[in-house]
Amino acid sequence: MAVLVGKKAPTFKAKAVVDGGRIVDDFSLTGFEGKKNVILFFYPADFTFVCPTEIIAFQERLAEFDKRGTVIVGVSVDSEFSHWKWLQTPRNEGGIKGVTFPLVADPSLMISRNYDVLAGEYDYDEQGDFVFEGNPQAYRGLFLIDKEGVVRHQVVNDMPLGRSIDEALRIVDALAFFQENGEVCPANWHEGEKGLTPTQEGIASYLAGK
């Protein structure tokens, strides 16, 4: 698993469905640089079971991310047409109608490969044929990309394990706290709590106050 934290996020230009139903051909994260943080998350597939719970949960908290200057972008290996159909399907029929943040299509698997969340890889078999080994879907990867386009946080879950939207919000708050105050965030830090200065004296003072 590649560690992308501290590095520029891999760039891409791909087809996506935006605003809940409009297909665009050249969606890119570069338009957010200098303006917004990005939560880029990968999920295995449209029309599955855990995935809609996560996507709808992000939608329900979208305003909270927005007030923190952060946009949400989802990616799977499905086509833009599959995304579009899923977005038009009512929730009581297994769809995600009402979701408005972008869903990026990655049928070539290249975006998932570049972020190293693909559950398999291409290799040569015993006959010398170039084949895909494993599952050609993405694990549940999540990346916080700052306004400079640098990855500041990443976490990857196996496919059966849904992620925490609360934790995604907490890590956005932690980054903002550090950038605004110059203090670091200790274990289990949440917005409104104090941080600590990254010195021995600062750590001692923080621990003494616990």
Catalytic residues: 51
What's the chain's Rg over C-alpha atoms?
Answer: 19
Q: 50-60 vs 165-181: helix axis angle to the nearest 10?
A: 40
Q: Residues 116, 2: contact at Cβ < 8 Å?
A: yes
Is the distance from CB of 139 to CB of 156 less than 8 angstroms?
yes
Decide: helix, strand or coil at residue 174: helix
Residue type, 56: I
Which DSSP letter does residue 10 get? P
